Amino acid sequence: MRAALDRTVPGDDLTPGAGEAGGADYVDGLLAAFNFDPPRVWAGGPTSGRHGGAATFDQWLELGPWEERAWRARIEEWWIIYETGLATLGEDFLELSEAEQSERLSTTSKEFRELLFTHACESLYGDPVYGGNRDGQAWQAIDFRGDVQPRGYTDEEVRAP
């Protein structure tokens, strides 16, 4: 999974690849959301503790009955897509060169590649509480401090180019 994520959204000198920054942990967390009570779908808040205030993002919110039903259906579909896509990549995927990995990835279903890309992006730029963006690496690469509550932004920061 990590290698597939890195082929989908690779890193460079400034930015980590999606796999390197914890993308596989993010996907694992999504697929296992209902192994927890409450399910780990919506992080709490309003503050993460990174800039003051209580660290309440990791106090997961309860889902309503319709939300739960929708999320269970969505996650079941993702399981099938990931199982099929990873099987297509094959057990030797890690042994391939990056170019060969990219070629193999192109043989998977469009549905798998699109889901992998979506989750790669979410894992890179979402809050680290969801399992990706390890240590805020992707945020640092784009000079984003994440949530700034309760401090907020100064007028100068809002006007800055």
Q: Given this model, what pLDDT does residue 49 score?
A: 87
> Token digits for 106?
């192109």
Q: Given this model, what pLDDT does residue 156 score?
A: 84
Q: Given this model, what pLDDT does residue 161 score?
A: 72
Q: At what angle do helices 23-31 and 110-125 cross, to 10 degrees?
A: 110
**75, 86 in Cβ contact below 8 A?**
no
Q: Given this model, what pLDDT does residue 155 score?
A: 84
Which residues in the chain land under pLDDT 50? none
Which residue range(s) make up the domain with 81?
Answer: 2-159
The region that residue 52 occupies, defined by phi over 0 for left and psi between -120 and 50 for alpha, beta otherwise, is: left
Q: How many distinct structural domains can be found in the chain?
A: 1
